[in-house]
């Protein structure tokens, strides 16, 4: 019998190289950006970069459960909203200390994830998609009706979180680097999870849940934990977003935002973790530049997305792999 | 008070019937082709916009209705050929992304073509009056027409799907499309038929509701979510389920919004009731969906074989 | 006999109006290879699914190693030592053969909640996995993605996964299904080598394999046990000959 075809091992080695090279490139670019920012009105590029990285955190977190666990959550923007509103609500009561706001933001996300995940994970396939959508909508409507906290119009945040009184988020450059660190942390955490025993169970459940059960794994429990972690990381993204925008509104958690998160993951390349980071960047950059060109940019962007689906398997990462000839046999 | 209740029940039925028209196409497409079509809402919206335009050209509601249906069908078939036919073999995530792109395109496109300002369509002369209900309340005839036409469509669908050969093929396709194809049926044509018909129903809903609501960009999005809740509660692939669930949701949502504050006032002060009430009312159908899915993970009337 | 490792008591199962398992009682003695044969539609796969916990019986009890597991979910039964293979190959196609088996080992080996460290490099998991792969003859194919294995190799992989679970009872649902003559002979040889290590329930259509391996045979017709005994007893039983073996010598 012939040993594994050389093409197979080549592809595996190529994937491993990409797994180092691509993130390295991404973080290199992101780290260097502030230096390049002198070419444009400085705060503009920094703000854009910060915004991209914040959504990249959420997209990577979503990829953890979508790409590796086959759990398509259509309500993930809810966690961003929870994190953001934690900041906003505390700020409106005069509490700006990071060491209070951040844990609360994370706790809110984890609790919501556990509560809704416990119910949602008993369903499969499209029912899971729908029920996560429903829970997202519930939070959306709750926020819209919070009149004391702005309701539909949203809540302005007078000042950003401080660490022991130090305004660490105030300077755009420092904020940028903090968010970059959070993104790096998220990426490597998710990376570690995926390769760990826990991650292998999650990935196994994606391949064949029945098989996993008959091997002795209680899949439900693993999925719930993964869902909670994913939610918490999105809560972190929301926390950072609120600090970056000085504003929070129910729009942060509309189902359209949840849809956009899924698009970012798919656009970049599902199941890679760095793909969603690229996807978030591409999505937001296109939106940003197209919208400056024409008010009706979505008329162009919409069909673009359709074309990516029809012709771009594996998202941008997959496309790039094809173009550079790293074909898989 | 009871006549107010009666009015709201009628409104709930009207919303329910509307949801049914939209959900029927959605559940068929999902059931037969296993396709998540987020863009179904734009068919509804286009129906309304096209009716407005055709009314401007013809001055006749009936003519506008017919022309709008034809145009909606044409658009749907074009979309099916260009995009959806390639999507049937792909997974749900691809469906989500592609149809999301279509929503963006049409929502903005509509602004380009018709402008962002809300438009309106007058109620046809014949039905523009009101009837007096018990308690002296006046109820618009047009709303009764909507209820009536929706029920007529429901009966028609029941006959069509349950008692004709085409309907049998559709039902068979909903449980096992590859088998139907293997039996020699032109599955592409069947899919096209299902897709086009579903789109027409949504367009019909849009035309009928246009005289009551304002026609504006994005009007399909909110109703789309409701329609998805309907088909999930009803059971994917089941027309009967869509009907039952649509009426249920129409009633729950309407009655909930009307009476939530009043009901809550029985338990708490007027001010907190006014704050919590609307939020709770909005969430009501989602809570309902969560409960149904917990008890029946495949909906109330799952199509056999799912 | 000594305390049976598996005892099925008066199992019933209907799907809609169709009675698939009809007052079925069966015992598997420790160490024996117990074959279950019967025509298609006799309920064999349903029975295996009930024993492994994927389906619940409408009535009756399932006792495994003396404990009533009737209400226990599938994963708990697996942890208790009940291992199975599937009639339609059920492996993890995206994983390599080694990773498939390593997962089976992982289920037995401490906590899987650990989120750090690279599971693929753990010797604690890979060593027993490689050993199991070696036993079924897949030692050289350890790093091949499971989807690319031949049909017979996938069957062997399922067996390796079942072995890696250090089972107290192994359920085999038509392991020879779809395998050619050479592969079948190889699997028979493999199973013969495993006899005595742990009890096995073998559901099979291939009569040569059944008579070569079984210590006892139970014949399933219309959801109930028609006859049960040694291969010679079953072969000689006129009821069985009339109902099954007579017109189905594969």
Residues B249-266 pLDDT 10s = 999 999 998 888 888 888
Please, what is the average pLDDT of chain B? 87
E strand or H helix at C67: strand C67-68
Domain at A6-323, CATH class: mainly alpha
Is a pLDDT exceeding 90 seen at residue C216?
A: yes
Provide the pLDDT confidence category of residue A39 given band limits of 50, 70 and 90: low
Whether the pLDDT of residue C163 is over 70: the answer is yes
Backbone angles phi, psi at C169, to 5 degrees: -155, 135
Q: Which two tokens stand for residue C216?
A: 């006892």
pLDDT at residue B284 greater than cutoff 80: yes
3-state secondary structure of C17: coil
> Which chain C residue has the Cα nearest residue A209?
C92
User: Rounded to 5 degrees, what are φ and ψ at C27?
Assistant: -135, 140
Closest to C41 in 3D by CA, of C21, C69, C59: C21
> pLDDT value at position A284?
94
**Band (C250; pLDDT cuts 50, 70, 90):** very low
CA nearest neighbour of A187 among A19, A319, A34, A12: A19
Q: Which of C170, C173, C155 is nearest to C44 (CA)?
A: C173
**Structure confidence at residue A14 as a pLDDT band (50, 70, 90):** low
Optimal mutation site among A132, A299, A307, A318, interface B, most CBs of chain B within 10 A: A299
Rounded average pLDDT over A188-214: 93
Collect all residues of chain B within an 8 Å Cβ-Cβ radius of residue A115.
none
CB within 8 A of A110, min separation 6: which ones?
A228, A231, A232, A235
Confidence of residue B102 (pLDDT cuts 50, 70, 90): very high
CB A235 within 8 A of CB A142: no
Alpha-carbon gap, residue C79 to B18, rounded angstroms: 52
pLDDT-based confidence at A3, cuts 50/70/90? Answer: very low
More confident residue, B302 or B211: B211
Q: What is the pLDDT of residue A328?
A: 46
List the one residue out of B192, B290, B191, B289 whose CA is nearest residue B241.
B289
Interhelix angle A315-323/A255-268, rounded to 10 degrees, is 20
Q: A137 to chain B: which residues are within 8 Å by CB?
A: 225, 282-283, 286
The total number of residues written for chain C in this structure: 250
CB atoms within 10 A of CB A122: 14
3-state secondary structure A100-134: HHHHHHHHHHHHHHHHHHHHHCCCCHHHHHHHHHH
Closest chain A residue by Cα to residue C147: A207
Tokens 């940003």 — which residue? A288
- What distance in Å separates residue C158's CA from the closest CA in chain A? 10
The closest alpha carbon to A54, from A269, A218, A281, A228, belongs to A281
Binary contact (A216, C90; C-beta < 8 A): no
Classified as helix, coil or strand, C134 is helix
CA dist A240 and A251 (Å) reads 16
- Which residues of chain A neighbour C93 with C-beta distances below 8 Å? 207-208
Phi, psi angles (nearest 5°) of residue C34:
-105, 115
Kindly tell me if the per-residue pLDDT of A71 is higher than 70.
Answer: yes
**Domain C1-81+167-250 fold:** Rossmann fold (3.40.50)
Could you tell me which residues come within 8 angstroms of residue C73 by beta carbon, excluding any fewer than 6 positions away?
A213, A218, C53
Q: Return the pLDDT at B161.
A: 82
CB B65 within 8 A of CB B207: yes
Res. C17: pLDDT tops 90: no
Compute the CA torsion angle A152, A158, A162, A167 (nearest 10 deg).
140
Q: What is the DSSP string of C33-62?
A: EEEEE--TTSSHHHHHHHHHTSS--SEEEE
**d(CA A131, nearest CA chain B) in Å:** 7
Which SS3 state, helix, strand or coil, does residue C68 take?
A: strand
Per-residue confidence band for A212, with pLDDT thresholds at 50, 70 and 90: very high
Query: Which residue, B227, B204, B238, is CA-closest to B289?
Result: B227
For residues C8 and C135, what is the distance between their CA atoms, to the nearest angstrom?
31
pLDDT interval class at B14 (50, 70, 90): very high
Helix (H, G, I), strand (E, B) or coil at A239: helix
Is the pLDDT confidence value at A66 over 50? yes
CB contact under 8 A, A138 and B286: yes
A72-86, B13-27, C40-54: which has the minimum mean pLDDT?
Answer: C40-54
Residue B15: the pLDDT is 94
What is the C-alpha separation between A144 and B298, in angstroms, rounded?
30
User: How close C239 gets to chain A, by Cα (Å)?
Assistant: 36
Distance CA B143, CA B141 (A): 5
DSSP 3-state of C88: coil
| Average pLDDT estimate for A298-325 | 83
Q: Which residue of A has its CA nearest to C79?
A: A216
What backbone phi and psi angles, to 5 degrees, belong to C118?
Answer: -95, 110
Residues 225-244 (B) with a CB less than 8 A from some CB of A: 225, 228-229, 232, 236
Work out the end-to-end distance of chain B between its first and last CA atoms, rounded to an integer number of angstroms.
44
Among A64, A186, A207, A214, which would you mutate to test the C interface (most chain C Cβ atoms within 10 Å of its Cβ)? A214
pLDDT in tens, B110-152: 999 998 899 988 888 888 888 887 777 888 899 999 999 999 9
pLDDT at B105 over 90: yes
Closest Cβ–Cβ partner in A8, A193, A216 for C78: A216
Give the mean model confidence (pLDDT) for residues B170-179. 76
Q: Does the distance separating the beta carbons of B98 and A310 come in below 8 Å?
A: yes
Q: Report the 10 Å Cβ neighbour count for B239.
A: 27
Q: What's the pLDDT tens digit per position in B46-92?
A: 999 999 999 999 888 899 999 999 999 999 999 999 999 889 888 88
Average pLDDT over residues A125-145: 88
Chains A–B, number of C-beta pairs less than 8 Å apart: 130
DSSP class of residue A294 equals -
Name all domains of chain B by residue range, CATH numbers in brackets.
16-295 (1.10.3470)
Question: Where is average pLDDT lowest: A110-124, A181-195, B28-42?
Answer: B28-42
Whether chain B has a CB inside 8 Å of the CB on A266: the answer is yes
Question: pLDDT-derived band of residue A10, with 50, 70 and 90 as boundaries?
Answer: low
A317 vs A78, higher pLDDT: A78
Local confidence band at A25 (pLDDT 50, 70, 90 cut-offs): confident
User: Above 80 in pLDDT, residue A7?
Assistant: no
pLDDT of B197 strictly over 80: yes
Say whether pLDDT at C171 is over 90. yes
Q: What is the DSSP string of chain B?
A: -HHHHHHHHHHHHHHHHHHHHHHHHHHHHHHHH----TTHHHHHHHHHHHHHHHHHHH--HHHHHHHHHHHHHHHHHHHIIIIIHHHTTS-HHHHHHHHHHHHHHHHHHHHHHH-SS-B--PPPGGG-SEEE-GGG-EEEHHHHHHHHHHHHHHHHHHHHHHHSHHHHHHHHHHHHHHHHHHTT--HHHHHHHHHHHHHHHHHHHHHHHTTTS-B-TTHHHHHHHHHHHHHHHH-TT-HHHHHHHHHHHHHHHHHHHHHHHHHHHTTS-HHHHHHHHHHHHHHHHHHHHHHHHHH-TT-SSPPTT-
Q: How far apart are CA B68 and CA A258, in angstroms?
A: 32
Q: Is the pLDDT of residue C101 over 50?
A: yes
- C74, C94, C108 ranked by CB distance to A214: nearest: C74
With a pLDDT cut of 70, the percent of chain B lying above it is 98
Cβ-Cβ contacts under 8 Å, A266 against chain B: 93-94, 96-97
- Which residue of B94, B108, B289 is in closest CB contact with A299? B108
- The winner for highest mean pLDDT among A120-124, A256-260, B181-185 is A256-260
How far apart CA A302 and CA A306 sit, in angstroms, is: 7
B295's tokens: 């008890």
Q: Do A198 and C145 touch (CB under 8 A)?
A: no
Give residue B1's pLDDT band: very low, low, confident or very high (50, 70, 90).
Answer: low
Measured between beta carbons, the chain A residues lying within 8 angstroms of C98 are none
The whole-model pTM stands at 0.88
Q: What average pLDDT does chain C have?
A: 88
Average the pLDDT over C171-178 and give the result: 88
Q: DSSP for A243-271, please give it.
A: HHHTEE-GGGGSHHHHHHHHHHHHHH-TT
Q: Determine whether the interchain pair C117/A197 forms a contact, defined as Cβ–Cβ distance below 8 Å.
A: yes
Is the per-residue pLDDT at C102 higher than 50?
A: yes
Beta bridge partners of C169: C82
Residues of chain C with CATH 3.40.50.300: 1-81+167-250
Tell me the domain boundaries of chain A.
Answer: 6-323
Alpha-carbon distance A322 to A315, whole Å?
A: 11
When pLDDT is averaged across residues B217-230 and rounded to a whole number, the result is: 89
Q: Which of B235, B249, B272, B293 to mutate to test the interface with A (most CBs of A within 10 A)?
A: B293
How is residue B119 written in tokens? 């438009």
The mean-pLDDT minimum among A263-267, B57-61, B273-277, C50-54 falls in B273-277
Residue B306 banded pLDDT, cuts 50, 70, 90: very low
């Amino acid at each position: 019998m012939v040993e594994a075809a050389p093409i197979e091992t080549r592809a595996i080695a190529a994937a491993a190289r990409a797994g180092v090279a691509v993130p390295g490139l991404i973080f290199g670019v992101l780290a260097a950006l502030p230096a390049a920012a002198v070419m444009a009105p400085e705060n503009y590029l920094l703000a854009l970069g910060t915004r991209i990285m914040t959504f990249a955190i959420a997209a990577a977190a979503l990829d953890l459960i979508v790409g590796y666990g086959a759990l398509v959550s259509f309500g993930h923007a809810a966690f961003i909203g929870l994190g953001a509103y934690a900041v906003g609500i505390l700020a409106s009561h005069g509490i700006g200390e990071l060491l209070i706001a951040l844990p609360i933001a994370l706790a809110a996300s984890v609790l919501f994830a556990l509560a809704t995940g416990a119910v949602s994970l008993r369903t499969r396939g499209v029912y899971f998609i729908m029920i996560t959508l429903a829970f997202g909508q519930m939070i959306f409507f709750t926020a819209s009706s919070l009149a004391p906290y702005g309701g539909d119009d949203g809540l302005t945040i007078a000042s950003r979180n401080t660490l022991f009184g130090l305004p660490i988020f105030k300077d755009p450059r420092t904020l940028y680097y903090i968010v970059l660190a959070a993104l790096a942390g998220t990426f490597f955490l998710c990376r570690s999870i995926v390769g760990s025993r826990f991650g292998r169970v999650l990935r196994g459940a994606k391949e064949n849940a029945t098989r996993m059960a008959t091997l002795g794994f209680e899949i439900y429990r693993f999925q719930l934990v993964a869902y909670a972690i994913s939610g918490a990381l999105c809560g972190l993204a929301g926390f950072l977003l609120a600090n970056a925008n000085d504003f929070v509104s129910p729009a942060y958690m509309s189902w359209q935002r949840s849809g956009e998160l899924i698009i970012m993951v798919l656009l970049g390349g599902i199941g890679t973790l760095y793909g969603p980071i690229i996807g978030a960047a591409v999505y937001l950059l296109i939106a940003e530049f197209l919208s400056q060109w024409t008010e009706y940019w979505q008329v162009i962007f919409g069909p673009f997305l359709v074309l990516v689906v029809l012709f771009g398997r594996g998202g941008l990462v997959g496309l790039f792999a094809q173009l550079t000839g790293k074909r898989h046999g | 008070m009871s006549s107010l209740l009666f009015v709201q029940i009628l409104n709930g039925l009207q919303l329910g019937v509307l949801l049914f028209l939209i959900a029927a196409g959605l559940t068929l497409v999902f059931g037969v082709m296993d396709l998540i079509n987020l863009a179904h809402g734009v068919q509804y919206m286009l129906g309304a916009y096209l009716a407005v335009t055709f009314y401007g050209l013809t001055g006749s509601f009936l003519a506008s209705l017919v022309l709008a249906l034809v145009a909606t069908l044409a658009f749907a078939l074009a979309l099916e050929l260009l995009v959806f036919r390639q999507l049937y073999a792909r997974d749900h995530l691809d469906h989500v992304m592609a149809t999301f792109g279509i929503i963006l395109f049409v929502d903005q496109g509509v602004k380009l073509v018709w402008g962002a300002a809300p438009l309106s369509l007058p109620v046809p002369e014949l039905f523009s009056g009101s009837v007096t209900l018990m308690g002296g309340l006046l109820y618009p005839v047009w709303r009764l027409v909507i209820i009536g036409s929706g029920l007529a469509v429901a009966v028609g669908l029941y006959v069509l799907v349950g008692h004709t050969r085409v309907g049998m093929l559709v039902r068979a396709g909903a449980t096992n499309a590859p088998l139907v194809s293997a039996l020699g049926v032109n599955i592409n044509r069947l899919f096209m038929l299902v897709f086009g018909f579903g789109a027409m129903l949504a367009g019909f809903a849009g035309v009928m509701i246009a005289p009551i609501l304002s026609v504006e960009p994005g009007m399909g999005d909110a109703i789309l979510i409701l329609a998805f809740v309907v088909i999930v509660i009803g059971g994917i692939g089941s027309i009967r389920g869509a009907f039952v669930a649509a009426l249920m949701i129409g009633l729950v949502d309407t009655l909930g919004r009307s009476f939530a504050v009043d009901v809550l006032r029985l338990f708490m002060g007027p001010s907190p009731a006014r704050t919590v009430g609307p939020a709770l009312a909005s969430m009501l159908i989602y809570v309902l969906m969560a409960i149904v899915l917990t008890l029946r993970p495949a909906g109330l009337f799952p199509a056999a074989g799912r | 006999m000594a305390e049976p490792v598996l005892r099925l008591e008066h199992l019933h199962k209907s799907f809609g109006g169709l009675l698939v398992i009809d007052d079925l009682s069966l015992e598997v003695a420790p160490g024996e290879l117990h074959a279950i044969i019967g025509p298609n539609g006799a309920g064999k796969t349903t029975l295996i699914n009930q024993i492994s916990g994927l389906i619940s019986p409408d009535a009756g009890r399932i006792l495994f190693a003396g404990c009533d597991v009737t209400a226990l979910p599938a994963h708990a039964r697996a942890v208790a030592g009940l291992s199975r293979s599937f009639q339609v190959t059920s492996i993890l196609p995206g994983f390599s053969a080694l990773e498939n088996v390593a997962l089976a080992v992982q289920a037995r080996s401490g906590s899987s909640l650990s989120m750090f460290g690279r599971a693929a490099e753990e010797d604690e998991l890979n060593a027993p996995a490689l050993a199991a792969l070696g036993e079924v003859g897949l030692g050289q194919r350890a790093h091949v993605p499971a989807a690319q294995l031949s049909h017979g190799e996938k069957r062997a992989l399922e067996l390796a996964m079942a072995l890696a679970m250090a089972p107290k009872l192994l359920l085999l649902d038509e392991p020879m299904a779809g395998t050619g003559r050479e592969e079948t002979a190889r699997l028979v040889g493999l199973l013969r080598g495993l006899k005595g290590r742990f009890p096995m329930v073998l559901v099979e259509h291939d009569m040569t394999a059944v008579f070569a391996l079984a210590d006892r045979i139970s014949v399933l017709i219309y959801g109930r046990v028609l006859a049960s005994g040694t291969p010679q007893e079953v072969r000689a039983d006129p009821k069985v000959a009339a109902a099954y073996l007579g017109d189905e010598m594969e």
